[in-house]
Structure 1
């Protein structure tokens, strides 16, 4: 993919204010999927395990896709709104890395909608997606585009107030998130390269959720005192639910579609989702994925600020899970 400039119309400072790279809280939730074929069903308690996507023979203009990325990522980031002084804003970045199963597209769309509706990110959310259905109108989930998105988010944030919520969903191997869209040749996203991106863009407060197999391996390279990291599996375990026809992975459904519809606490949601996933996996006689969490010492007060703000904005009503 041809490189493009790091700065795509970077937001400028308001008069009298010195603009610095924003340092924001980034929450990463990693939730991987096993490509299991054995499905000892439990009466539809959870979605079926991985089923391959149907073959698609439509051609893809690879060169056109590559050269459209500057335009698409520039358009998407220009739409991001500036931070609001005195408000702990959340900026949401979603990354659906695997084009070959629609579950990742459906999940990232649902999570973005949830955050726009319940976590006050409307105007401050962006998704990067690998899927034939979106390739002409949305930026790819590539490492280049992720860096550009983080760079532009950081330019709009207040480094002391605001938080970045980064959600990554795909397949994975230890330390690596799959980035796949045949016949495009995209680089996979490693935990080490993600840490470098976050440090380069000056992002301080980090909430990162990674949904992929072996996603617990992202914690050690990414953890800081100012980060919250949630993963769908332990470093040596797979996670489940990434069938083509599903709307969510197991962890994505438990964490976002259930727990975060009842609470504003990203930490409490992890505890609830872990119990839910364990119950589903036990019913399916699957080896437990054991979702993991890291809560930096310094980020706890920031997370409390977010919860207080959302209660003021929304009150405390819960949303019903999507069917």
Structure 2
């Protein structure tokens, strides 16, 4: 792959975490299944709940932070506490279910727990896909309190489908002008839940084109409003590439290559989508990446 020219000039917009006051939220006691709420309108579903911490809690004095446990059917989970990202966890193709367990910083009073559950479009080859779960199944518990363990599973939860950037259609030509983007030295890097955009001209020639996304983590890509697809270079291929011997019974783990490399790095850009100039590239980054490392490349003959 050969770069087509100079680097791209990026602008960024930070995705906002929702609040329970948002008009388009849903509320109910207990946890809902993700696909039944999103109805395939988005990969993303926010789960929001409040945790009240009294001032006499022991951990406020001894510094031993309480322990949050979240069980999910997958595929990816971002945990936010009081507006700050605490952790990101994800399952695998073989086992998409995941459990997060870790200490969280809480304060006296009302604390906001937000869980962003993400479906990544894992392929399925089974029957009754509509009965497969993709959600925060629970239980969701908080340990290390004076009362011991508090079960948050059946308490009041609020739900919000999708991201603000999706509702504003930031990936489109018209929607991308509806918010104020920052540029230059203020462009966010290594920051989760960030939208990036750049304008570029179509390179000459007729060679196949692709985007090199090795510097990014996980998210989605659009060009002129058309979906290039989900990117996930942060997912590193596992395995043993140290030896190769085809003798004996064959299995898929023999003679592996590219261990420790992204599962996919280059993403095809159809030339039919491009105008001679003024093409809009939009990237939504979930994990946090370096957009200056993104480049448009062509396949060398």
Is the TM value for this pair above 0.5?
no
Under TM normalisation by the shorter chain, which class is it? under 0.3
The structure with the largest alpha-carbon Rg is 2
State the TM-score, normalized to the length of structure 2: 0.26
